[in-house]
A and B are shown apart, each in its own frame.
Chain A
Amino acid sequence: MVEKKTKGAALLKVFFALILVLVALSCLLPLVYNLAVSFSSKAAAEAGKVAFWPVDFTVNAYKEIMKEKNFFLSFWVAVKRVLVSLAITLPVLTLAAYPLAKSKKEFAPRNVLLWIFVFCMLFSGGTIPWYITMKAYGLTNSVFGLAVCGGIPVFNLILMVNFFQEIPKELEEAAMIDGAGPWRILLQVVVPLSKPVLATIALFTIVAQWNDFFQGLVLSTSAEHYPLQTYIKQLIFQLDTSQMTAEQIKQMASMSNTTLNAAKIFISMVPVLCIYPFLQKYFVTGITLGGVKE
């Protein structure tokens, strides 16, 4: 690139970089704060002495978690929920997206079906009818219920339909001439080419399922059925000292355990933090494909 390197331009570049570093830091600091609290002594954390570095470093909080049966139960509910929902979502969406990506000539009802799906994405009966229906189905306290109760992820379905439409027709035609039927073409031609979109949808599904607390809250009748985020939500009622008087805070402090809660919160973030950087290149292609078509 042709550019005169002036002192001003170089300075400006440094300035931009500095802003970006600050912005990036701001995204990390709350997590660093939480991590610092989890490794601090209880006394220091409850006195508000901890900022972004542990005070009186200790791993006591993490040792104490070992004694918390409900934490592990909830963690396990969340893991099962993610796995079940992946096992349902990926095959169901792949199967449906393939015919829906065909032209109207090849699969006549595709437009009508797609519009019905889009309608379901944009309109819903609302929270209360949804809750009453799920209860009537008996989907309370069930991992399967948590995995499907959000309804079909139409956005992901359309992402996949759009991706399938971009696959060159010649590949399928060649397979067809060799005598392959729709099942075989889907499994042996389309699916192997769809790694980016499958990875994107897997990531979105994992994150949505792992991070949901609301469905877990209203569809569980007792704490041992809570998925992890719902469990964490119950802790945070205790964590939130901003809502209490000094008297209440003292009382809570003797009961709740700031550092233990921080350690639980940190562990709840670990799975997602471990996955997303590796799927980054996939979801960037996935989103831009679904979001913007010229």
Chain B
Amino acid sequence: MNTKKGNFFKSKAGIYWIMVIPALVWMVCINIVPMFGIVMAFQDYNPGKGILHSEFVGLENFRYMFEMKDVSSIFINTIVIAVFKLLLNVAVPVIFALLLNEIKNVFFKRSVQTIVYLPHFISWVVMGGILLDVFGLYGPINGVLTSLGMDPIAFFRKPELFRGLAVGTDVWKEFGFNAVVYLAALTGISPALYEAAAIDGAGRFQRMIHITLPGLKPVIVLMTILALGNILNAGFDQIYNIYNQAVYSTGDIIDTWVYRVGLTDMQFSLATAVGLLKSVIGFGLISGSYYIAYKKANYRIF
């Protein structure tokens, strides 16, 4: 028995197993074990009693959830914000990549790229704080407005402006980084195509429409499909750092609501139930989008 075991750990397969074990331990302890906490969604969880001894209430939390007015509005807010982010987070980076592609000066190109990557690397805590100040009543934007004789606007306190600001600032923060895949795809388009088109008399715009865009199409389709799976992820880090009570009606998303109800108000079971609903739907959407990407764009994760 002992020698057999020793042999296994010296065999190739045994060594491979040893190599994956640390990663498996990490995954099981941190990723998998909390999944069992999902039972809380079906309990009246009491921190004093713990998961093992709390009372089971069946689907009571879900019933309660669907009766709450909040819940439909957080799902709507989440989906609206996420869909606009999804569309613009593809469109804007593509337009940016096309513009940058027209510039031939390497130094200029590099400098612009390095600068537009920058906001991606700044946390939403910091970026949110700075943006709240820039758009604040005493910030430079209201400074411009008042100098033009207009009344200052409390941008981040207006429910009707909040979604636009959330989408806009997210797209602005990430477009540079999101453009990386498109810029890479652009370098893969053969220059011979452009030369041939130029000889045939195609102008700059025609070349963009007939060569560059078709060249980018597979990547655009793929990125859009993959993004579709994230329709329930409107970006906790961002929203949490820029929203406030005045804009809950349009800006409160599932994740921020779960955080407030669960960890601030201590309604663990209700928050877990909503979180679970989101996780299950989200998992279905992402799996579906990966499957479509695999079928349509021959995309494989590994």
Q: Which A residues have a C-beta under 8 Å from some C-beta of B?
A: 1-3, 9, 12-13, 16-17, 19-21, 23-24, 26-31, 33-34, 37, 46-48, 50-52, 91-93, 95-96, 98-100, 102, 106-108, 113-114, 116-118, 120, 122-133, 137, 148-152, 157-158, 161-162, 165, 181-183, 186, 207, 210-214, 218, 229-230, 232-233, 235-236, 239-243, 265, 268-269, 272-273, 276-277, 280, 283-284, 287-288, 291-294
Contact = CB atoms under 8 A, between A and B. Distances in A.
Interface residues of B, number: 108
Contacts of B271: 126-128
B86 interface: no
- Of B12, B135, B240, B244, chain A has the most CB atoms within 10 Å of the CB of B12
Given A24-B116, A48-B143, A239-B132, 14 more contacts: A20-B103, A33-B133, A51-B140, A123-B35, A126-B258, A148-B30, A229-B123, A229-B125, A240-B244, A242-B154, A242-B155, A243-B156, A273-B118, A283-B180
A284 B180 contact: yes
Contact of B112 (A24, A48, A268): A24
A125 B36 contact: yes
Contacts of A230: 125
- Of A47, A241, A242, A292, chain B has the most CB atoms within 10 Å of the CB of A242
B146 to A, nearest CB: 9
- Of A27, A51, A132, A273, chain B has the most CB atoms within 10 Å of the CB of A27
A240 B128 CA distance: 10
Contacts of B34: 124-126, 129-130, 132-133
3 closest residue pairs by CB, A with B: A129-B37, A126-B275, A48-B138
Contacts of A100: 20, 302
A12 B99 CA distance: 11
Given A47-B138, A124-B31, A126-B272, A152 B26 contact: yes
A287 B180 contact: yes
Nearest to B287: A122
A265 B129 CA distance: 9
A54 to B, nearest CB: 13
A22 to B, nearest CB: 11
B140 A240 contact: no
Interface of B: 12-13, 15-17, 19-20, 22-24, 26-27, 29-38, 40, 51, 96, 99-100, 102-103, 108, 111-119, 121-140, 142-143, 154-157, 172, 176, 180-181, 184-185, 191, 194-195, 198-199, 204, 218-219, 222-223, 236-237, 240-241, 244, 246, 255, 258-259, 262-263, 268, 271-272, 275-276, 278-279, 282-283, 286-287, 298-302
Contact of B33 (A114, A133, A150, A240): A133
A113 B136 CA distance: 50
A240 B263 contact: no
Given A95-B23, A151-B26, A243 B157 contact: yes
A5 B36 CA distance: 67
Contacts of A93: 23
B181 A52 contact: no
A252 to B, nearest CB: 12
Contacts of A181: 15
A28 B35 contact: no
- Of B12, B19, B40, chain A has the most CB atoms within 10 Å of the CB of B19
Contacts of B191: 1
B126 A28 contact: no
Contacts of A269: 122, 126
Nearest to B136: A242
A127 B115 contact: no
A44 to B, nearest CB: 11
